[in-house]
Amino acid sequence: MSLDCDLTVLEELTSNAKQIQDDVLTKILKANANTEYLQRFLQGSADKELFKKNVPVVSYEDVKPYIDRVANGEPSDVISGEPITAFLVSSGTSSGNQKIFPANNIFFKNIQIFYTLGSLVMSKCFDGYKQGKVIRFTFTHPISTTPGGLPLAPTVTSFTKSEYFRSLPKNSPSPYQIIMCTDAKQSMYCQLLCGLVQRDEVASVGAVFAAVLVQVIHFLENYWKELASNIRFGHVSEWITDLSCRDSVSTVLVEPNPELADLIENVCGKKSWQGIVSLLWPKAKCIEAIFTGSMAQYIPTLEFYTNNELSLVSLRYASSEAFFGLNLEPLSKNVSYTFLPNMSYFEFLDVDGGAEGEIVDLVNVKLGRYYEILVTNFSGLHRCRVGDVLEVTGFYNMAPQLRFVRRKNAALSVHLESTTEEELLKALARATLVLESSDLVLMGFTCYGDISTVPGHYVFYLELKSKVDNNITNVLSLVNKVLVECCCVIEESLNRIYRHFRSKEGSIGALEIRVVQEGTFGSLMDFFVSRGCSITQYKTPICLNSAEALKVLGDKVLARFFNDKSPTI
Ligand code: AMP
């Protein structure tokens, strides 16, 4: 597929989804039939029916020993006919453990196609997107090497470093060297500086995940005076010591611009930051970042920062295992991703009703059913569970459209109940409405099951911002009732089994909200980043269980609130 294609490519891909998936599987099996892994099940055959009959559905842990052998220096053909050229490290924020996945040029080429098609969808929806600049806050992680000598980095970093990224049309206000800088603070500062200097050309502001964008806005809260001063004098701060960042900024910040500095100071100096993004980037049409799944919690936050004037667009659904699909209706509030049949071979394990059922092909999924995705890709994964549960919401031509429902294993439990990520997020969304009615905006959320108390109870950590006063501590004493009400609303919307144990048996204690200081969720991100997670791929965990991560939050609690009623059954 060429990079100057148009949207007819999407029509072709989705109309011929069945044939394309068949071809993808044939190609993969031909390339991999003689790998050590597939030999065990197929004895060298590339037959598709035999593949489905004999090759087991696996989780990452099952194939890890094979992946590790290649990472440690054994030949690629332990798992892949195509040479493995890199390893991708997943964020590890959802599962708790970082995983490494093999990759090769086919993987990177697929990402390039994915980005190209995504830009076409955005250009169709938003006038001026194609001609404008797109701020996508991206942070490059240092690249390490596996014991076998292959590069090891998060997906976004590996792709950004590759020729496939560099040959995409350039539309970022920040020169490439700034995005490549591995010092996140210097990079973030310079990306903001370049974005502000070219504010009138910016058509979209975003990041891969919404959580990161919120952290960038926090950073701006701390640095706007300095950024404005740099713009006023046409000179970047001395603490930007990375030479390629300095040089690149000087190609953008070419002269003093006191008018722009005044404007930034006026806008950022306001008591409330409601609508700040729209004010700083007046031509922006949308915020482009993932807002589905655990990122849904940031919708009200970004609605506040854009004053509801910009569309919040979740465009892509992807992972380190495979790139899956694009949202072809960026303006719709009901986000579903249309799977692209050329990316990998996809199968779907029916998980409706809790039990695992039939496995079906991409084009055979049924409307309204819930599935876990299995990936067979060009770089050595065969029928591997991704751990995401999706619901089929429709079809675009022959390709299914799926809504992200939840991570499979993220659930909270303190007794015999189990509360899924989706249930927690629904409960949180209800509480958010209560917060909003009192001019409070949710900036960060996570929860954990505290079993150090008897009975155990759920703890929701919330970082809040007041719409009317930038200092949350000034208003906390006034909102006691609101937060107790939130505890109540959350418990009322949890499942029946939870409410039964809580109200009837008393085997679950009253739900607690702990409000933490502003910036706490930034510190939580820093904690995960210090453990090797990439900023770009960071996703705030919905449920925390690491004692060290909990300590980061525990040190910053401002106030605690409990439900004073038992939930109804
Ligand atoms: P990683 O491999 O670290 O990039 O993480 C990939 C995971 O991020 C996926 O398996 C999903 O759980 C999550 N993810 C990626 N894209 C989306 C999306 N559009 N909506 C919700 N979750 C997503």
Distance 161 CA to ligand 1 centre (A): 21
Distance 361 CA to ligand 1 centre (A): 21
pLDDT at position 312: 98
Give the whole-angstrom CA distance, residue 202 versus residue 110: 27
Choose one of 88, 94, 312, 420 to mutate for the ligand 1 pocket test, by most ligand atoms within 8 angstroms of C-beta.
Answer: 94
CB atoms inside a 10 Å sphere around CB 453: 12
pLDDT at position 93: 63
Distance 403 CA to ligand 1 centre (A): 12
Distance 297 CA to ligand 1 centre (A): 15
What are the tens digits of pLDDT across the range 536-554?
889 899 998 888 999 999 9
Is 94 close to ligand 1, i.e. is its CB under 6 Å away? yes
Specify the residue with its C-alpha closest to ligand 1, atom 23.
317
Is 292 close to ligand 1, i.e. is its CB under 6 Å away? yes
Give the whole-angstrom CA distance, residue 45 versus residue 29: 8
Is 319 close to ligand 1, i.e. is its CB under 6 Å away? yes
pLDDT at position 92: 67
Specify the residue with its C-alpha closest to ligand 1, atom 22.
293
- Please report the atom of ligand 1 found closest to the CA of residue 101: 2
Specify the residue with its C-alpha closest to ligand 1, atom 5.
319
Distance 319 CA to ligand 1 centre (A): 5
Which candidate, 350, 375, 532, places its Cα nearest to that of 60?
375
The 8 Å CB, 24+ separation contacts for 328-335 are 328/10, 328/121, 328/396, 328/401, 330/121, 330/122, 330/125, 330/126, 330/286, 331/125, 334/393, 334/403, 335/291, 335/292, 335/403, 335/404
Specify the residue with its C-alpha closest to ligand 1, atom 19.
317
Give the whole-angstrom CA distance, residue 105 versus residue 107: 5
- Please report the atom of ligand 1 found closest to the CA of residue 321: 2
100-103 vs 399-407, strand pairing mode:
unpaired
Choose one of 100, 319, 534 to mutate for the ligand 1 pocket test, by most ligand atoms within 8 angstroms of C-beta.
Answer: 319
Distance 488 CA to ligand 1 centre (A): 31
Rg over alpha carbons for the chain, rounded to the nearest Å, is 24
End-to-end CA distance of the chain: 56
Distance 364 CA to ligand 1 centre (A): 23
Quote the crossing angle between the two packed helices 184-197 and 210-233, to the nearest 10°. Answer: 70
Is 90 close to ligand 1, i.e. is its CB under 6 Å away? yes
Q: DSSP character for 253?
A: -
Which candidate, 9, 13, 121, places its Cα nearest to that of 400?
13
Distance 324 CA to ligand 1 centre (A): 10
Specify the residue with its C-alpha closest to ligand 1, atom 7.
319
Contacts of 84 (CB under 8 A, 6+ apart): 70, 76, 102, 103, 104, 150, 379, 380
- Please report the atom of ligand 1 found closest to the CA of residue 316: 19
pLDDT at position 128: 93
Is 449 close to ligand 1, i.e. is its CB under 6 Å away? no
Is 80 close to ligand 1, i.e. is its CB under 6 Å away? no
Distance 474 CA to ligand 1 centre (A): 37
pLDDT at position 468: 80
Specify the residue with its C-alpha closest to ligand 1, atom 8.
319
Choose one of 336, 388, 525 to mutate for the ligand 1 pocket test, by most ligand atoms within 8 angstroms of C-beta.
Answer: 388
Is 325 close to ligand 1, i.e. is its CB under 6 Å away? no
Choose one of 87, 139, 290 to mutate for the ligand 1 pocket test, by most ligand atoms within 8 angstroms of C-beta.
Answer: 290
What are the extents of the domains in the chain? Answer: 107-142+171-316, 421-562
pLDDT at position 451: 84
- Please report the atom of ligand 1 found closest to the CA of residue 407: 12
Specify the residue with its C-alpha closest to ligand 1, atom 6.
319
Residue ranges in 181-298 assigned as alpha helix (H) = 184-197, 210-233, 243-252, 258-268, 276-280
Specify the residue with its C-alpha closest to ligand 1, atom 17.
317
- Please report the atom of ligand 1 found closest to the CA of residue 93: 3
Distance 344 CA to ligand 1 centre (A): 16
pLDDT at position 294: 82
Q: Which residues in the chain land under pLDDT 70?
A: 92-97, 353-355, 410
Distance 239 CA to ligand 1 centre (A): 34
What are the tens digits of pLDDT across the range 508-527?
999 999 999 999 999 999 99
